[in-house]
Amino acid sequence: MTGGLFITLEGGDGTGKSTQAALLEEWLTGLGRTVVRTREPGGTDAGVEIREIVLHHRGDIAPRAEALLYAADRAHHVATVVRPALARGEVVLQDRYLDSSVAYQGAGRVLDAQEIRELSLWAAEGLLPDLTILLDLDEDAARARLDASRTRYDRLEAERSDFHARVRAGYLALAEAEPERFLVVDAGRPVDEIAADIRERLAGRV
């Protein structure tokens, strides 16, 4: 396959998305594919400013305002980074996308998940990933990982355990509803085993 491919990595904080993204980028590059590795929020200059607001703003942000900020970042990012790369036949490897909004603002903030999804799809002009890799890990285990590696938490990382439990449940519900798009992997397994599962799922498409 030489056409564009859109791959997203999802999961709670501390599940290892960055590690798996780096390994997947290395594998894809070794196969001769051009990889655009990006993230939401913050994959553009404007997105960096939005990221600073949604993750590091001091004080509360109303849940609907938070959802709209993520959607604004997504609209600009898809229009200026993702779609152009896909049109060039490249692989877009992205840390977080619309499923994060449904899980974090929908389930986590207890907003209407379908409304959040529709807002994100409107912002992205209907673009869905070809594959979404969900790194699933118990919220307490994920917190332990963060505690071992962080001295500063962003606004979402700092939320209480029940928030992160809702986020995880939201993610798993999304994966159950769209099994053809999602690959759910146990993020508590060894890194190389997870990477092998991801490569196996993608082997026939790259």
Give the tens place of pLDDT for each residue, 100-122: 999 999 999 999 999 999 999 99
Range of the domain at 64: 5-202
Task: Point out the least confidently predicted range of 81-90, 123-132, 149-158, 160-169.
Answer: 149-158
For residues 154-182, give the mean pLDDT. Answer: 92
Looking at the 3D structure of the chain, how many domains does it have? Answer: 1
**What is d(CA 131, CA 157) in angstroms, rounded to the nearest whole number?**
25
The pLDDT of residue 2 is 55
Task: Give the helix/strand (H/E) hosting 186.
Answer: strand 182-186
Give the tens place of pLDDT for each residue, 23-63: 999 999 999 999 999 999 999 999 999 999 998 888 889 99
The pLDDT of residue 66 is 95
3-state secondary structure of 166: helix
**Averaged pLDDT of the chain:** 94
What CATH number has the domain bearing residue 107? 3.40.50.300
Q: What distances in angstroms separate CA 53 from CA 22, 59, 110, 156, one per listed residue?
A: 26, 10, 20, 12
